[in-house]
Structure formats: structure tokens, C-alpha cells
Structure 1
Amino acid sequence: MWQTANGTSYGFLLTMAFFLPLFHKGTCRPNPCLNKGVCEEKRGGKFKCRCTKPFKGRRCEKGCKRVCKKNMCGYGQCVLTSLPPFFQCKCKEPFKPPFCKHVAACSPGPCLNGGTCMKDENDFHCQCLDGYSGKFCQVVPSDCYEGNGQLYQGKVSETDDDDECLHWNSYFLLEKGVNPFNILEDHRGLGPHNFCRNPDGDIKPWCFIRKGKKLKWEFCNVRKCSEILVILNSSITMKPPETPSKPPEILIKPFGATVQPPKAPLQPTETPVKPVSPQLQSPVLQNATVKEFATCGRPLARRNRIYGGLKTVPGAQPWQASLQARLEGSKQAFGHVCGGVLIKACWVLTAGHCIDNNKEMQVVLGGVDLMKPESTEQTFTVEKVILHENYKETSEAVYNDIALLQLKSTEGQCPEETEFVKTACLPNATFSDGTECTITGWGATPESQYGSDQLLDAEVLLISQEQCSSKKVYSNLLDDGMFCAGYLKGGVDSCQGDSGGPLTCQKDGVHYLYGLVSWGDSCGQENKPGVYTRVTKYLEWINSKITGTARKAL
């Protein structure tokens, strides 16, 4: 049974599942087959790939698992190739080919673009000419990205934390169930290299990295073209273009762009919003007494998940909140304890068992990474906590597990609506059993028992009250303020999340907050799905508390 006393939050466990290959349509131009596969066109705009050994798969993306053996490449990455022996060791300097086990610093010199290799015993570093950067001076002065960097084709291969990127065809990715050429919508620019790219529409170029035996991802240390403009306007010396006759604008042309002059950074724009059906419009939103967000339940970002939630794009779950706490009067840093959901400009819903009156709380909106500050974040102090009057916690279940958090405005401003911060819609209609809905949070995973640093999401099915109340499931523990979601078979079921976080269901492209992560017996176990607070039961309570607080403020 979950332990929820004293505000402890364990969240749900996500059992990872591999992604099915993207369904491609169209001709064989350009060739969709990887690793020198031969494309054959079929009827209906479909195609088939004839693969060369040892590759297989719909797009010849899968390699023989016996090719890359443990420790074969020493201090390097094993990548797949289309020619015998069907692999290659990509060594990290100062280790040398063929198997990256022998050290030879600065012999031959690895530094590019006139850089000088400086030997330090068995290690080295490159001293680059002005304007050049990167571990090997491979990043030229004009290496920058524009907008969100989806067209970026530069040579930055290091993250903001100076970690070296994995090759996109690294065997370590396949070993972890990740194939970038399969699971990403835009594989332009990806290839047998470790340069940063943005194939999923994130806010800037990124790459995969390896931390011990764990696969992670990080944003890259690549500049925006507008930053280079600032440098030019400040008369900071940069290496001039090779052809003096070219205007300065060519110097800052983003990699992969088709335009000549630089543009200002792209600004998020709202798309026309389809009206929400009246029967699903929340009374809370209708009776707003303060300036409300223009829309609810409509994320602007696409939901592209990599490795079952390893990477969630900022803005894909813009109503997700991180409830953070520290001891009252303490100067310690705030730590994440629960999830929450933004439902109104100054109001966040969370689970009642997340509340601890002995702690000072704040709410962070718009972020996906708990381990570092993000430019998309907005942080607010919790001014008022309203716990449901009939909240009750027993050794077996939690009842009326819901609470409202009123955020303290900063200079008269509550959270500002952006591409990364939006409200979820509140429904007053039910969704049918079997509906597929989404849960999100920073809960525990097989790789991280005490929680994930990255925001994760997973799909679950709504389970009927009759099934969930059967003797082999939860018997008579459930009341009408709870419901189950997940998979009764357990095992490969998805049941990831974080206490107080959202379960949202879609109708006509709009996301409605249908449940809050509450409690469960273990996780991923057969006949023990997750239990959620049924938001529709508490709409009147939510509305009365918010409007009552507004009247008192007047």
C-alpha cells in the first residue's frame, strides 16, 4: 500500500514500452530506408525496404544484437554500420581506434580550424582561435540556431553541462529501446554523428547523453543567432568571413535555414480555438472574477515522447505544476513533493494528502526538469491552502483527497499565460469506461525509485466502478469520489505519475482534468490499478471555495 502520511509522495511507476515505428506514406524519394536499404514502392503510396545485412526492421533501422558486445569499444561508443564487420568504435580523445583502449594525446592532433592541441600527461585540450569553440574547435563563429532550432545543422556536440553527446546511431540507444530514426517525427539532420539537433520541436537543439548505465537527454550549448547579433552590435571581435565581400548578415545565417538575413527569435502565436461544448465548460471558468487565461486544455506543443517518457517537450503538458516544500522558516532549498494542476489564473488543484501544515510551499509552473532552472518556468508562493473539510486518510485508502492552493500574485500578477503555462479545463460531464486518458508527473520509474528528474507521461484506460470494486481488486474501499484507471492485467501496464498530478481526457482536441493521482496498492501489480480523485464530484466545492475567497478579498 502506498504510504501517504506526512505528505510523503511516491507516485506511480511507469513500465516502459517500446514505440511502434512511425507509419510512413509516400514514394521512395527521398529514400526512407536506412543503412543503405533499398526502397521498393507499393500500392497506395506505401513502400517496403530491402535491408542489407545485418540490418532489419521496417526502415532497416534495427541491427543484430550480437554485433556490439560488452566493453568491445573501451572508452568509446559502438555504432552500427552497413559494411562488415557491421560496427565501428567511435573513440573519445585521447583514446585511439580501432577499439578505444590505447591513449595517444595530440597524436595526431584532434583540433580543427587551426586549433592547437595542448597535451596534459595522457589528456589534452584544444586551444581555439578567436570565435571558434567546442572540444575540438569544430564550432565555427557562424554556428547558431534560429527560432527553436529545428533547421539547425551545425556541429555543436556538447550539452549545457559540457557532457558529450551520444551518436544518433549509437548502439547504447538501441540497447535502451530508443531508435531516433523511428520514434521522432522529423529525422532530417539525424545521422551517424553526435551533433545536436531538434527533431521533436523542443525549444532548442538537444542530444542524448550517457550517465553511467542510464540514458538521459540535455539541451545543447549552442547559441541563438540573435546572441551573435548582440556580439556584432557590441563590436566584439569575431573571425571575419572567408570572403570579405560578403555582408555581415551571412555570418549569422542559421545552419539549415533557407533565408539569408537573420530574423528575430520566433514568438509563440495562438492558433484559432474551437469553442468548447457548453456541457463540458466548467462553472469555475464561467464565473471568473479576475482576468482569465484565453484558453484552457489546449497545449500548443506536440506530444512527442521518447523512450516512454524520457523526454517530454516543454508546453506539451502546460497545466502541470510542481508542488515544492521546505520546513517553515528554513533557508533550505525547496524540494518537489507532489504534482498539481493549474485550473485558474491563481489556483492549483492537488491531492489532500500532499498538504503538510508544518511546511512552507511554492508552486513551479512551465518546467519539465526538476534539477535545473528553466527559462519557461514561473514560480509562485502558496498564499492559502484549502483542504477538503471531509478529508480522511486510513491505512487502506484516502477519502476526499483534494485540496486547492491559492497562489500569491507577484506585483499584482498571477501566472501569465504562455506556450508553456496554460490551464486545464474542468468538466461537468463523464467520460465512458475504457476511454484512454493521460497521466503526467515526476513519479518513480524502474530507473529512479524515488522519482524522475524529467516530467513523464503515460496513457491509462478508465476502469468501470464495478470492476474496480470487485473483491479481487479494491472491494468496498472506493466511494463515489474515486475511480480507477490503468490496466487490470498489470505487468506492462502504464501507471506512472505523481500524487496530486493530473489525469486528463480529451474531447474534440480539448484536455479536461478528470482525476487527480491519489492512491493505490503497490504499482503495476495485477488487479491493483491506480486510484484517482474524481474531479467531477468536486466541481461545486471548487467553485464555492474560489468564488468565496474572491468575495472576501473584495
Structure 2
Amino acid sequence: MQNISDCYYKKAQAYLSIDTVRCNCCFHGIYVLYLCWEPNVEQASFFFFYFFSVAGSPFLFSSLFSFLFFSSFPVLPNFRKAGKFSILTPADPCSSDPCKNNGRCENRGSSFSCLCPEPYAGTTCEKVKNMCLEKRCHGGDCLITLTPPYFQCRCNHPYKKPDCQRASSPCRPNPCKNGGICIRHRIRSKFTCKCPEPFSGRFCEIGPDDCYEKASSKYRGSVNQAVNGKTCLHWNSHVLLDYPINAFMEDADSYGIGEHNFCRNPDEDEKPWCYIRKSHKVEWDFCDVSPCSGTDSSTDPPGSNEIFKRCGQPEIQRPLTRIYGGAKTTAGKHPWVASLQIKTSKRNTHFCGGVLIQACWVLTAGHCIEQPAENLQVALGKQNLKKREHQEQIFDVEKIIVHYKYREKDGVPHNDIALLKLKPVDGHCAVETKYVKTACLPHFFFPVGTDCFISGWGLTETDEESHQLLDANVKLISQKKCNAPRAYDHILDESMFCAGNLRRPRADSCQGDSGGPLTCVENGSYYVYGLVSWGDGCGLKNKPGVYTQVTTFLSWIKSKIQSESRSLH
């Protein structure tokens, strides 16, 4: 075999008319595959040799292909030998600076690795190590810091550093502020501060001006106690590292979150809140902080007016922590998103998404409709599917209208669109609030490359559905590219379009739900341009998400709604 290989090697040199040719080869059955190139020359030649034995003598057939035939690809000497292999030199994987938190990227050929500074870890240095695993802070909490040794014990008064194991006299010196009186308990470490008016808090540290305005997300006060009296955990506590909101989340400082335990409201909840320990478990609770005088802290009450002022106008713009190319959204950021649920005797089950386009009308995908109207319920204003929320509006479904040309061919849904008519409650359907609004219907087409948004309770990085509403950015892709042989090979018709990223799998319609909206912005208004329909896997290269083209069905939508309105009179 060595002689035959030498023969091939010399034959390659003869073909290229050079003596410096270098070759890599691999053997597979009766085939010998050679990739030959001249060092420091970008163009290369590709040899494919067949050989087999005829009457004990090797028989050789060889053919030469210039890379010009494939349009002058650069050389990759270290190709893979596992059935498929790459001949193209990939772009420098470090060029996009994938390592976060000042991690250093090292080029590994077709991949990269990140050298993470302490205390970061993970593929892209996106995680924070729990430096407290072997550290015990007896009368306190172990906190993660960004300076050596990357942890510290935060001692609860009257315990002392460094490990919070010993307690001093709780009232000597007096820990109470603003003239508070320290009252010592029978248990050595227990005490109470008796606060003069108008101060409050464990140490009388909360003054009358420490209150929250109506926009409670901007609260930057010093209250650190929940309404149940529990002291708030520090946002950089080691027990919060696996929680989506902590001192190390993206843009934490813009939400007022850092190495402290003051109450905050980063996700636009009713009022400031914090994490607490309760029965050795971590929970969250609202904080014992009052609204400022003149502030109406109540939620907008449902009224009888079903006329929405203006479509496509969210009051919240900012996302929170990233999840699988998507993000946990703030309440009210996508106020038109609907959760379609199947009624059960125990707990309703979310199965598809939808989008509110009028007070009594929700748009969704046709393939979602597998149940009669009486088995369905629509939830609006939802953020967390696992709990009842003050802003939610729940409706039964009065009628379902699936497009008359809806069909499935080879597992692909065509004309994948349907309308749900909501059943009024107390004489009205959806009422406009901060958390419930309509999306606009598009009367035009957005150009290729437009940045749009998908949202819903879709798949996370663990392939499980999220109970938190997610969102992600996607780009509109041309029909020509979507229908290319390497993508969907002419499956898409005029009722569909695709969006995402063909080359770099990132956010995908897995962040949405079937029937959920893809919205694009024009002049500050959000238009429901697509409905999540189908796709080949999640986040795969050349397999972006496919969406129903809502603009194509605009006349059908309007005619059905008008027809139903006329039938009432």
C-alpha cells in the first residue's frame, strides 16, 4: 500500500508540475481521497483516486479538479475525516469577539475556546462561578464579588467578620439610626429597633421620602425588607446565580441592581420586590415600601370601552436576561401576544400563541386549530403562565374561522391562518391597558433585511417550554434565499416567508409559539407581519423559521371581521 501511495503522491506532483506539493489523504473502502496544495498558495487541486485489484495488480483511475471549478475556494489542510468534511477555510471564529466579560478568544481552526478571567466560566465566559461552594458564612450570607478572592461573607448584625460565626452585643454600639432605640432580646443575637416617626425599617433607616412613583421600575431607594418582614437577599448572593435576575445579568446597573439588597423592580411588576429566604428556599415577595403621595399604585381597571386608542404602541421597550437567543421580556413589551389554552379540569394548558388585532379578535395559525371553540380559552396580558397575574384578561372563544384554503402537504401547512372571536365578559371583550393592546395589520410589505421581533412561550435552551414570555430579534430573508436548494428547496409559496439567520443559527421561531406573532416596526408602530408557522428544527444552519405572510391575507381578515359584525345587526 505504501508503494501505491507514493505513486499517487508523485502523480499529484506531476499534475501540478511542482515539487513542493503537499497532500493529505484518507482511505475509505476502495477509495483513496487526496487534497493537494502548494504551501502559501491559496488555490489548490483536489484529487479523487479509485483503485481496486484486478488479477492481483492495482488498477488506477484518477481525475483532477481545479478549485476554480468550485469558484476558487481557499485551502483547509486539516479537513475532517468523518463522512463529511470541509474544504473551505472558515472565517476566523474569534472575529466576532464571542467571549464575554473580557474573556480571551483562542482560534482552534473551525472553532474557538475562551480563556475566562475569574470568576467567570462557560463556553463564552457567560456564567459566574459559585465561589461560595466551600465557604460557610454562619450568621450571614456568602456574596460573589468581582475582585479577589471573588467572595465575601456579609454578616447579619450583630455577627462579626470574617465568617459571621461570633456575635457581639446587639445594642452596643446602638445600630439604630435616626434616633431609634435598640431593645435587646433574651436571645443574645436578637434585637429590635424602636423607630421614631416617620422612620421605619429594621434599623430605622427608611425615611418618609423613600417611596416609589407610578413608574416603580425607577425606584432607587434603600428599602430592603419584604412585606412579610423578611430581609432581602443581596442581588450578588451565591444562591441567586441560577436565577434570571441578579447582579451579574446583562445591564444590571441600568435596573439599579448591584452588590446590595435594596428592593428593585426590573421587570415592571406592580411595585418593587426582592428575593428572600423562606424555609430554606428562595422566593420573591413585594417589598414593604409605600407609594409616594399622589401616586395611584393600582392597575388600570378594566372598563367598558372596547375602542383601542392606537394599535402597535407598547409602553415598555427594554428586554431582560437572554435565553437561547431570546430574552425574558418585561411585562407590557408585547401587549398583543395571546396565549391559546385548552380547558382542563385542573389547569388550562398553553398550546399555541396568537395576536390581538381587535378587542374581540385574535389572529393565529390554522394548524393550531384542532379543538372546538368550547374547549378553548384565550389569555391576554400574560407574562408568567404558571401564576395568576393582576393584569391578565381571560376569555372563552365564541367562534373559530380557519382560512378556506388551509391545507397540509407533506407536513407543511399552506395558507396557515385562522381567526378566533372572543366571547365578551360583562358585555365587552379585551380592554386596553398597559399590558393589553392590539397590534397593527400591515397594508404593505417590509423590505428584506428588516429587523423584526418574535415573542411567545417557546423553547428554551433545554428544549422545554418556558413559563416566562420570551422574545428575540430576527431579520427578514428573501424568498429566493429561503427557497434555495440548501435551504427549503422551493417549498415556500406566496403565503409564507422566512426570517432568522441563514449562516449563523441564533434566535429562531422556537422562541415563539405556533401562531404567535412576528412584528416589525414602521414609524414607531408594531405591525403583525407574520405568524409562526413551521420550520426544520430550531436554530439550524440554512433552516430559518417560516411564517405566514399576514399581508397576503389582509382582505380575508377584514372581510371575515366585517361579516361577523354585520351578522349582529
Q: TM class, shorter-chain normalised?
A: 0.5 to 0.7
Match of 1:335 in 2: 349
Displacement of 1:550 in angstroms is 0.9
Q: Deviations over 1:393-441 (max 9, x none)?
A: 3453112221111111112111111121110000021111111100000
Say if 1:312 and 1:388 are closer, same or farther in 2 by CA, change over 3 A: same
The answer (yes or no) to whether the contact 2:450–2:475 under 8 Å persists in 1 is yes
Match of 2:342 in 1: 325
The answer (yes or no) to whether the contact 2:362–2:421 under 8 Å persists in 1 is yes
Q: Deviations over 1:127-166 (max 9, x none)?
A: 8979999997889696653323223413235599979544
The answer (yes or no) to whether the contact 1:166–1:209 under 8 Å persists in 2 is no
Give the Cα–Cα distance (whole angstroms) in 1 for the partners of residues 452 and 190 of structure 2.
Answer: 50
Structure holding more strand per residue: 2
Give the Cα–Cα distance (whole angstroms) in 2 for the partners of residues 320 and 334 of structure 1.
Answer: 17
2:224 to 129, 144, 156: 156
Q: Deviations over 1:168-222 (max 9, x none)?
A: 48696599897668615735x54421221135655422446899xx9x9956343
Match of 2:295 in 1: 264
Query: In the alignment, residue 146 of structure 1 is paired with which amino acid?
Result: E
Query: In the alignment, residue 167 of structure 1 is paired with which amino acid?
Result: W
Displacement of 1:355 in angstroms is 1.7
Give the Cα–Cα distance (whole angstroms) in 2 for the partners of residues 192 and 460 of structure 1.
Answer: 34
Give the Cα–Cα distance (whole angstroms) in 2 for the partners of residues 349 and 64 of structure 1.
Answer: 37
Q: Deviations over 1:459-516 (max 9, x none)?
A: 0111111111112211132211111111112444444111111100011111110001
Q: Secondary structure at the match of 2:425?
A: coil
Query: In the alignment, residue 532 of structure 2 is paired with which amino acid?
Result: V
Give the Cα–Cα distance (whole angstroms) in 1 for the partners of residues 490 and 268 of structure 2.
Answer: 46
Say if 1:140 and 1:513 are closer, same or farther in 2 by CA, change over 3 A: same
Match of 1:78 in 2: 143
Query: In the alignment, residue 502 of structure 1 is paired with which amino acid?
Result: P
Gaps of 5+ in 2: 1-96, 102-116
Match of 1:167 in 2: 235
Query: In the alignment, residue 294 of structure 2 is paired with which amino acid?
Result: K
Give the Cα–Cα distance (whole angstroms) in 2 for the partners of residues 395 and 94 of structure 1.
Answer: 70
1:147 to 205, 214, 220: 214
Give the Cα–Cα distance (whole angstroms) in 2 for the partners of residues 18 and 171 of structure 1.
Answer: 27
Displacement of 1:19 in angstroms is 11
Match of 1:500 in 2: 515
The answer (yes or no) to whether the contact 2:131–2:144 under 8 Å persists in 1 is no
Match of 1:272 in 2: none
Give the Cα–Cα distance (whole angstroms) in 2 for the partners of residues 115 and 494 of structure 1.
Answer: 59
Match of 2:251 in 1: 183
Q: Deviations over 1:327-377 (max 9, x none)?
A: 5xxx32222111110001110011122223256111111121112122211
Say if 1:80 and 1:416 are closer, same or farther in 2 by CA, change over 3 A: same
Q: Deviations over 1:431-463 (max 9, x none)?
A: 11111100000111014x331111111001111
Match of 2:413 in 1: 398
1:301 to 298, 311, 316: 316
Query: In the alignment, residue 540 of structure 2 is paired with which amino acid?
Result: Q
Match of 1:222 in 2: 288
Give the Cα–Cα distance (whole angstroms) in 2 for the partners of residues 407 and 498 of structure 1.
Answer: 20
Displacement of 1:95 in angstroms is 10
Count of aligned pairs: 431
Query: In the alignment, residue 366 of structure 2 is paired with which amino acid?
Result: G
Percent identity (aligned): 40
Structure with the bigger RCO (C-alpha within 8 Å, sep 6+) is 1
Match of 2:33 in 1: none
Q: Deviations over 1:65-104 (max 9, x none)?
A: 998536133474432165x53531347899996468x7x8
Query: In the alignment, residue 272 of structure 2 is paired with which amino acid?
Result: P
Match of 1:454 in 2: 468
Say if 1:463 and 1:412 are closer, same or farther in 2 by CA, change over 3 A: same
The answer (yes or no) to whether the contact 1:132–1:138 under 8 Å persists in 2 is no
TM-score normalised over the length of structure 2: 0.64
The answer (yes or no) to whether the contact 2:247–2:257 under 8 Å persists in 1 is no
Q: Deviations over 1:241-295 (max 9, x none)?
A: xxxxxxxxxxxxx5xxxxxxx22326899xxxxxxxxxxxxxxxxxxxx953110
